[in-house]
Amino acid sequence: MAKGFQVIDGGRGAGCGFLTEADIEAYFSGTLTAERGAMFSAHQAAGCGPCSMFDADMQAFRKVLTDGALESERRDFEASAAAQRDALRSELGRSAGPPRRRIVPNWLLSAAALIAIVGIVSFQFLRSPELVHSVMLPDGESFAFQAPAPPPLVRDGGDFARGRAAFAAREWSTAAAAFESVEAEDPRSADAEFYAGVSHLLNHEIPLAVERLTEARERAMTDGVSGEATYYLALAQIGAGNPVVARELLESIQDGPGAVEAGRLLDLLSP
């Protein structure tokens, strides 16, 4: 299965080469050790873009193999696959010449179909602006999540506006610095604290993410709207190697933004 993925993903390659072929096989079979999984997560956190992209591609590929495509994706796939079959038949027909009739082998059609569906789902995973991020679970699996939507647009030119612009542009380091600079007296300081924490999380600055999101959650709890901050704090705690703490946080989320994803993550963390 991993070799099939490598053939399909050959245009991008297996990251920077940090994962060995044996690691990739173990990833797909669910037998990648927790130690090796943590090393791969730390390697991505250090800023390896090719490995982060490769990890997202692997998740998309596994999703296709385990869950299948959504109905809308299936329709796109069927149309794409039909077009590819016609193109393949036409190309083989031209290469064969009039005297011989060539039939496209089933394995070639299957390969074209799988390539098409992986491409569709990869597009769903990786399209802008819903860029996918991930944290490594204790069992070596990756859990994919999306960044929250940027805060409402402001035009005062202050630190919050600069943070909002940087966050929308996915410039996490710049966004974190700008949100950190918002004064405590600013009426948007609670939102700034939350987005500073998320920016640190997306920039793989886990200790800072835990600190800021903990503060953001405590402030949000006074308003009864702590679900979103709790969800991202749980992700940061997983990144910090604290799955038990993360599970307790997720169990406290009853509704609101992130509740569905929190439930899905809680199921994966449950013993």
Q: What is the pLDDT of residues 76-105, one digit of tens each?
A: 555 555 555 555 555 555 545 554 444 445
As a whole number of angstroms, the distance between CA 268 and CA 230 comes to 17
How far CA 188 is from CA of 40, 83, 179, 216, 262, in Å, comes to 37, 52, 10, 12, 26
| Range with the largest mean pLDDT of 4-8, 100-104, 188-192 | 188-192
Q: What is the mean pLDDT of the chain?
A: 74
**Residue where the block lists tokens 């296709």:** 64
The confidence score (pLDDT) of residue 140 equals 87
CA 249 from centre of chain: 21
Band of pLDDT at residue 197, cut at 50, 70 and 90: very high
Q: d(Cα 168, Cα 112) in Å, to the nearest integer?
A: 36
Domains of the chain, first to last: 1-146 (no CATH), 148-269 (1.25.40.10)
Locate all alpha helices (DSSP H) within the chain, ordered by sequence.
Answer: 2-8, 21-29, 34-45, 49-67, 71-96, 106-126, 159-168, 172-180, 189-202, 206-221, 227-239, 243-251, 259-269
**What are the angstrom distances between the C-alpha of 262 and each of 121, 141, 229, 241?**
22, 16, 11, 17
pLDDT confidence of residue 100: 46
Statement: residue 31 has pLDDT above 50: yes
Which pLDDT score is estimated for 117? Answer: 54
This prediction has a pTM of 0.54
Q: Report residue 124 as tokens.
A: 């769903």
